[in-house]
Structure 1
């Protein structure tokens, strides 16, 4: 569907009394949702929010977070969603570059900006729908771990949604759980698919996943979450799951299929408003083909991208810094192969290192190690070595009570000899970085300091 007004208003015009949003157990129709958004937008405007203003939204996922997001959009604001777990020193360095006027804090504390409150005002309010208006600034980070803010318009977000929905059915009577935070682009992807499809969305305050999913037909999960749901043998209403974050075991997709659940997987980036390539999970190592509105090119082993969903640029000090190279492509620094239109991601070009003359791509080892049932996250980083140049070290996050000394034996027949980690370390809390992508450079520095200190 193409929009000539704010999507929620256009759905109100078409199906005013149709259920649109479930907030905990309260269900709003499109008519009721628009009334809530209008009154909140009027309240924000009464507090001084104007079109083009930068607003930080410091919040976890709650019903109020979603309503605030939609109301701020309707005010024409440029929203910077922030994880409340981000350390204050990082915010103090980052936020001055974001050209912000206000902060809406629903979780945590921040006193460096004029504070907004969720104060409703009577009457309708908002600015004219302009799909090319800059709408969101989403933090991302590269291998250095230094956050940047990728800026997207509503049009870019809707283009992302259209591509995913061309592959993954999401109909009028379906209900997608907002299972991922809005400060991640994958969470925003769920929001815009809902608005594009005119289906239903569920957002619940923090609950166990099994409870949060009650009545939902769609969800975005990582494989571990789906394993646990299937093993629990509870009633599941799910019809489709978009999986991310790891390679997808064939056994998992087969077990899901036996329960009537279709599984999809893919490849996405913050700069492209979520998913770029995707497929129905089939056990093959590729991430699928480019979705409609995307182009993929591999140049000297590096993945280059173009898409209607691409960010307008990185925001810094009131200006947009370009994303593309001289040829108009975004160079991902991901190593990849393109065969018959299907893309396989081999790892980050920056991460490849050599041990005794053998090339080690950390992501290749990580995919194998992540199959251990007690490992939830793993990083392979190089340890400097006088004889071999560098040797692989595994830094893992495990379930409580795990004995990591058992890991070398478990992986002895699953990795080549030169790939076997020479040390296994537990990921320190200090390096988890408050939800921002963990810096491999910081991990490497920590490993080399710890093992040589």
Structure 2
């Protein structure tokens, strides 16, 4: 297993020198070896440098995953720039408010919407082949850049503007090292880039690939086709259910899956194991460059134990983390703002417990509300609602109530054949009286357009505008 100290040069150069003809990138229409990848990144470094990209600048990459976007990220970091991958679905209103605080120097927009960034310097990444053979000395020294800011990843922005967590390459690689210390991803393996680079989980996949020198699959085809030749993937349980129930002619090459999302049913993991697929579940966050704890999925609520380089503790019900992959801070108005820490322990605001030899995440402390004198943790109710076979996800939102102070309302994404009135009846004997939602609403599809995780704050704002609740 590669250790961080083995790298004296950029990872793509390192692997090109060791295995130039091994496949680095597996796309729908082409395969790219480490040797070719190294050349293309070097060309881009030269090209970006000629366009004025310099050390310390901040460059936005806006778009869905693609080879051009990925190679642009690598080349920009090699120029010494900070990369800010942006979700193309973020509303213009939010970008107009947020971007002036992030000191953006240039943009590469892979979407067709050119108006949003018209006032910014736009870079071209399409003519790097003109610089084959040019001196690639524009790349900064890897070892000196290792601890410098490399990426800005936006948090989910549960309250107010999203924060831009700053990570160094050392932090990303340390996070990757933690995951591959338990999951067996090696040079002969291939991990599917199934998550967007604007999310920390997508970045986690990329840096595991760079650390281990395996292959990375970057495909736009349906999941069952995209997984051909893939040994590792990061999926949500619903995706794995669908995959296992597909009629597939070719045998699975998939060996290990890192599952995210809600409690993972043992029926799913047992079925996967019977097909030779090991399932892992975990806990992580943007500020820690992805996964902090992981375990083989076993149907229990826990998230396992800390990975290599990570420590957890619980103070006043709050999970606190000490990690070698911790963000350097939040970038705002040209300064590095500190994380919310006690000493070098990051205060997650996640409610947790250590039960049966592993950590459990019980919800967000700031989601807790009081109803008729009882403490209500929304995630407790949501886990019961989500256990209904026709429910995909749910959100419990507190609304003001003259008699009880606040009461829970449920916003649910479910099979449209399931009447919400029927769901309400199904819940009655499964929740305490103060936990039973006073009303149910279907989750508006527009609330799912912002990324891979629905914002609880946006659900709350949507609910308040759609109802007559006094709040």
TM-score, normalised by the number of residues in structure 2: 0.92
SS in structure 1 at match of 2:263: coil
CA displacement, residues 300-321 of structure 1 (integer Å, 9 cap, x when unaligned): 1111111010000000111100
Deviations 1:113-158 (A, max 9, x none): 1001112022352221121121000000343152010000000000
State the shift of 1:432 in Å: 4.2
Q: d(CA) in 1 for partners of 2:217 and 2:207? A: 13
Cross-structure match for 1:127: 140
Does residue 272 (structure 1) correspond to residue 288 (structure 2)? The answer is yes
What RMSD over aligned residues (CA atoms) do the two structures have, in Å? 1.8
**1:433–1:22 Cα change, 3 Å:** closer
Residue in structure 1 matched with residue 21 of structure 2 by the alignment: 17
Do structure 1's residue 182 and structure 2's residue 186 form an aligned pair? no
Structure 2 counterparts to residues 387-398 of structure 1, below 5 A: 387-398=403-414
Q: Secondary structure at the match of 2:330?
A: strand
Q: Counterpart in 2 of 1:219? A: 233
> Displacement of 1:327 after TM fit?
2.0
Distance across 2 between alignment mates of 1:14 and 1:340:
44
Aligned to 2:103: 99
Alignment of 1:413-452 (within 5 A): 413-432=429-448, 434-435=450-451, 438-452=454-468
State the secondary structure of the residue aligned to 2:341: coil
- Distance in structure 1 (CA, Å) of the matches to 2:345 and 2:78: 31
Structure 2 match to 1:259: 275
Q: Residue 258 of structure 2: SS of its match in structure 1? A: strand
The answer to whether the aligner puts 1:318 opposite 2:322 as a matched pair is no
Question: What is the deviation of 1:418?
Answer: 2.8
Q: Deviations over 1:6-40 (max 9, x none)?
A: 00111111111111111223111111110111112
Contact 2:193 2:217 in 1 (8 A): yes
- Superposed CA deviations along residues 18-76 of structure 1, whole A, max 9, x for unmatched, are 11111223111111110111112211111111111100000101122111111212212
The question of 1:241 aligning with 2:257 is answered yes
Q: Does the residue aligned with 1:43 lie in a helix, a strand or coil?
A: helix
Partners of 2:82 and 2:150 within 8 A in 1 = yes
Aligned positions, number: 452
> Which residue in the other structure is 2:384 paired with?
368
Change (3 A) 1:58 1:227: same
Cα 1:52–1:445, aligned 2, differ >3 Å: closer, same or farther?
A: closer
Higher relative contact order (CA 8 A, sep 6+): 1
**Counterpart contact for 2:391–2:412, Cα < 8 Å:** yes
Does structure 2 retain, via aligned residues, the 8 Å contact 1:35–1:124? no
* Contact 1:383-1:392 at 8 Å conserved across structures: yes
Post-superposition CA distance 1:214-236 (Å, at most 9, x none): 11111000111111111114243
Residues 108, 398 of structure 1: CA spacing in aligned structure 2 closer, same or farther, 3 A cutoff? farther
* Correspondence for 1:209 among 216, 220, 223: 223
Cα distance in 2 between the residues matched to 1:385 and 1:200: 55
Does 2:127 match 1:113? no
Q: Following the alignment from structure 1 to structure 2, what is the Cα–Cα distance between the partners of residues 220 and 60?
A: 17
Q: Say which SS state the counterpart of residue 411 (structure 1) adopts.
A: helix
**In structure 1, how many angstroms separate the alpha carbons of the residues matched to 2:437 and 2:431?**
9
1:382–1:214 CA distance, 2 compared to 1 (3 A): same
Q: 1:45 aligns with which of 33, 45, 49?
A: 49
Identify the range of structure 1 (187-196 vs 8-17) with the bigger mean alpha-carbon deviation: 8-17
Deviation of 1:275 after TM superposition, in Å, equals 0.3
Comparing 91-100 and 389-398, the one that deviates more: 389-398
Q: Does 1:61 align with 2:65?
A: yes
Match of 2:171 in 1: 156
Return the alpha-carbon distance in structure 1 between the equivalents of residues 294 and 108 of structure 2: 35
Contact 1:240 / 1:263 at 8 angstroms: preserved in 2?
yes
| Unaligned runs of at least 5 residues, structure 2 | none
- Structure 1 runs not aligned, ≥5 long: none
Answer with 64-73 or 433-442: which moved more.
Answer: 433-442
C-alpha distance after superposition, 1:287-334 (max 9, x if no partner): 110101011111011111110100000001111001143422110111
SS of aligned partner of 1:387? coil
Q: In 2, distance between residues paired with 1:69 and 1:441?
A: 30
Task: After superposition, give the CA deviation of every residue in 1:221-271 in whole Å (9 maximum; x if it has no partner).
Answer: 011111111111424321000001211111111111111100001110100
Deviation at 1:448, TM superposition (A): 4.2
Other structure's SS at 1:260 match: coil
**CA contact 2:368–2:375 (8 Å) conserved in 1:** yes
**Counterpart in the other structure of 2:318:** 302
State the TM-score, normalizing by the size of structure 1. Answer: 0.95
Moved more, 16-25 or 338-347: 338-347
Q: In the alignment, which residue of structure 2 is the partner of 1:173?
A: 188
Partners in 2 of 1:400 and 1:62 — Cα distance?
34
Alpha-carbon spacing, 1:19–1:444, altered in 2? closer, same or farther (3 Å): closer
Does the residue aligned with 1:48 lie in a helix, a strand or coil? coil
Structure 1 residue 372, shift from structure 2 partner = 2.9
Misfit runs of 4+, over 6 Å: none
Distance 1:124 1:414, change over 3 A: farther
Q: CA deviation at 1:390?
A: 1.8
